[in-house]
Amino acid sequence: MENQFIIKGGTPLNGEVVVGGAKNSALGIIAAAIMTDETVTIDNLPDVRDINVLLEAIEDIGATVIRENEHRVKINGSTINDITIAYDAIKKIRASYYLLGALLGKYKRANVALPGGCDIGSRPIDQHLKGFRALGATANVEFGMVNTYAVDLIGSHIYLDVVSVGATINIMLAACLAKGRTVIENAAKEPHIVDVANFLNSMGANIKGAGTDKIRINGVFKLHASEYSIVPDMIEAGTFMVAAAATKGDVLIKNVIPKHLEAISVKLIEIGAKVEEYDDAVRVYSDKRLGHTQIKTLPYPGFPTDMQPQIATLLALSEGTSTVTESIFENRFKYVDELARMGSTIKVEGNVAIIEGVAGFTGAAITAPDLRAGAALVIAGLVANGFTTVDSIKYIERGYENFEKKLTGLGASIEKIPVDDEEAVQKFKLKCS
């Protein structure tokens, strides 16, 4: 049965919230974990749909997966007996492509269905394939599958034509077990690239320079057991930062790496919110309507595309005219029509959203078009006057663990109820009155 969120807006968020492990790190790390025949323990795993689908996919090909609790898993790749990942197993997640790099590195061959994922624009994987080919593999797309094969993987010098998180991680995975030295130039620098590299190094890989645009990998013969804890999720943290500012609240967001949040903090401060940084927490508060700004999404350390819908929602409520330029994905403004139904004034021209701030939103029945846009619409509902329902929350659940519970803990009125359950709606409304 499909669920939806029902929200009564208007309550400032107040209190403390703890951020979970980074979903995008975890996806790379789970794939990396099958590259050794020894047992790997991963901690601070986010309990979200994308992660659970990937764990099922590696179980399907024979890996042993023991979920010790929702945030800790043991993986053993020695029992893998198949190198083909079918579409049914992974159609819901894009990062299934990491299994290409992981299986190719370990077994020198892999067949993985072309990934799905959020529909935020065309998402080619040519740079991944270019990297595999540079390492000496064949890589072809046939009948919806990506098939790769190598007699031997040989280290190589690879220059990425576009800065790609996925291609950087995928090539890093395969190159770890290649013969000799690989250099990835124009590599992506996102914190989760550093996290996956640290994890691989903890398994005996030899990777240097992750977090810069030049990553150097000396291939090793094999990888070994490791115990590793995933870094905090910067996008979950950023989402709560924006939610705190949008609701004119005061929230201490714990278990974060403030450095990863700088691009978000700087923009919030620029428009008038208060941001205090601690060792592993940030406090965001505001008691007034915020101002306007210009934002352009860029690879890290620029403003993250995964925070674009959330910040645009905040700017839609701020004073004056803002512009948000999306330079990574071309189809990431689909939430704008939903926001318009709540009273926003946003015009999209090409990859630029021109936002005329309005004084407030009013509640409406809206639908989440994708993961981050879904989170943005929940923020809109938290601010709106009256009741909002957000449908298609399966997207939000791909990347946010206990989103509604964490928001309730901050004083929000939000509940997960079945779609079309009029009785549940009435009960919620009664509770809020």
Tell me which residue of 397, 6, 31 sits closest to 236, measured CA to CA: 397
Nearest alpha-carbon partner for 107 in 131, 126, 81: 81
Beta carbon nearer to ligand UD1, 162 or 365: 162
Q: Which is nearer to ligand UD1, 27 or 80 (CB)?
A: 27
Give least dist CB 165 to ligand UD1, A.
Answer: 4
CB of 326 to ligand UD1, least distance (A): 10
Binding mask of the shown chain, residues 298 to 317, with x at each position contacting ligand UD1 by CB under 6 A = -------xx-----------
> How would you classify the pairing of strands 3-8 and 387-391?
antiparallel
Nearer to ligand UD1, 138 or 426 (CB): 138
- Please measure the distance between the N-terminal and C-terminal CA atoms of the chain and give it in whole angstroms: 28
Closest distance to ligand UD1 from the beta carbon of 313 (Å):
17
For ligand UD1 (CB under 6 A), the number of binding residues is: 20
Task: Annotate each residue in 16-45 with x if it binds ligand UD1 (CB under 6 A) or - if it does not, as one string.
Answer: --------x--x------------------
Site string for ligand UD1, 331-350 (x = CB under 6 A): --------------------
Q: Should residue 282 be labelled a site residue for ligand UD1 when binding is judged by CB under 6 A?
A: no
What is the token pair recorded at 48? 């979200």
* Cβ–Cβ under 8 Å, residues 264 and 239: no
Q: Contacting ligand UD1 (CB under 6 A), which of 71, 72, 91, 123?
A: 123
Q: 6 or 102, CB closer to ligand UD1?
A: 102
Stretch that binds ligand UD1, among 122-130, 344-352, 385-393, 417-425 (CB under 6 A): 122-130
Amino acid at 420: D
Going by C-alpha positions, the residue among 322, 255, 360, 337 that lies closest to residue 44 is 255
Question: Which one, 72 or 123, has the nearer CB to ligand UD1?
Answer: 123
Nearer CB in complex with ligand UD1: 130/341:
130
Kindly give the interhelix angle for 371-383 and 234-246, rounded to the nearest 10 degrees.
20
Q: What's the burial of 35, exposed, middle or buried (CB within 10 Å: 0-12/13-18/19+)?
A: buried
CB closer to ligand UD1, 167 vs 245: 167
**Cβ atoms within 10 Å of 140's Cβ, excluding its own:** 11
By the rule CB under 6 A, 413 interacts with ligand UD1: no
CA dihedral 374, 334, 318, 240 (to 10 degrees): 20
Distance CA 279, CA 257 (A): 8
Structure-block tokens of residue 373: 């846009």
Q: State how far the alpha carbon of 224 is from the alpha carbons of 33, 42, 136, 152, in Å.
A: 9, 14, 24, 20
Q: Are 325 and 352 in contact (CB under 8 A)?
A: yes
What is the distance between the alpha carbons of residues 166 and 369, in angstroms, rounded to a whole number? 22
Q: Which residues inside 173-202 make contact with ligand UD1, applying CB under 6 A?
A: 188
In order of 65, 201, 228, 230, 255, the CA distances from 40 in angstroms are 10, 13, 8, 13, 23
Q: What are phi and psi of 331, to 5 degrees?
A: -125, 45
Counting contacts by CB under 6 A, is residue 364 touching ligand UD1? Answer: no
Tell me if 125 contacts ligand UD1 by CB under 6 A: yes
Whether 176 sits among the annotated catalytic residues: the reply is no
Question: Binding residue for ligand UD1 (CB under 6 A) from 95, 103, 137, 176?
Answer: 95
Query: Token pair of 109, please?
Result: 């061959």
Q: Which is the catalytic residue, given 31, 63, 100, 118?
A: 118
Candidates 92, 106, 108, 128; binder of ligand UD1 (CB under 6 A) is 128
Side chain identity at 218, as an amino acid letter? N
Q: Which of 82, 126, 185, 280 binds ligand UD1 (CB under 6 A)?
A: 126
Among the residue ranges 11-19, 119-127, 400-408, 410-418, the one whose residues contact ligand UD1 (CB under 6 A): 119-127
In the three-class reduction of DSSP (H, G, I as helix; E, B as strand; rest coil), residue 79 is classed as coil
CB closer to ligand UD1, 84 vs 331:
331
**Shortest CB 67 distance to ligand UD1, Å:** 21
Q: Which two tokens stand for residue 147?
A: 């098939």
Q: Does 328 bind ligand UD1 (CB under 6 A)?
A: yes
Strands 294-296 and 321-325: parallel
For ligand UD1, the closer CB: 100 or 244: 100
Region binding ligand UD1 by CB under 6 A among candidate stretches 66-74, 158-166, 219-227, 344-352 = 158-166
Reference 52, options 401, 408, 352; nearest CA is 401
Restricting to residues 258-277, name those near ligand UD1 by CB under 6 A. Answer: none
Return residues touching ligand UD1 (CB under 6 A).
24, 27, 94-95, 123-128, 162, 164-167, 188, 305-306, 328-329
Give the catalytic positions in this structure: 118
